[in-house]
Amino acid sequence: MTEERIARISELTRLSRERELTDEEKTERAELRQEYLAAIRASLEGQLDNTYIVSEDGTKRKVERHE
């Protein structure tokens, strides 16, 4: 997600504190928020894919995904 899109989310949030957003603005903000959350989830999943747990005996095991 680009810095411009994140800035747009912030702008819409600021506007919502000043006045009622139009239906189009509400829809745009909701879509941008979903995109932002998806980017955060993807980043976290990438980090966890490269995370290992080291036991006291020195063995390493990959973090398992539980759904």
What pLDDT was estimated at residue 57?
93
Output the pLDDT for position 63. Answer: 86
Q: What is the CATH number of the domain that holds 44?
A: 1.10.287
Whether 67 is covered by a domain: the verdict is no
Q: Is residue 19 part of a domain?
A: yes
Structurally, the chain folds into a number of domains equal to 1
Using a pLDDT cut of 70, give the percent of the chain over it: 100
Whose structure tokens read 């189009």?
A: 24
To which residue do tokens 């957003």 refer? 21
Q: Which structural domain range is residue 37 located in? A: 3-62
2 has pLDDT over 80: yes
* In a domain? residue 37: yes
Nearest residue to 64 (alpha-carbon basis) of 26, 53, 22, 54: 53
Whether residue 47 is contained in a domain is answered as: yes
Tens-digit pLDDT profile for residues 17-41: 999 999 999 999 999 999 999 999 9
Let me know how many helices (H) and strands (E) the chain has, helices first: 2, 2
d(CA 53, CA 62): 6
Name the token pair of 48: 């966890």
Distance in angstroms (rounded) separating the CA atoms of residues 66 and 51: 15
pLDDT score for 9: 96
On whether residue 22 sits in a domain, the answer given is: yes
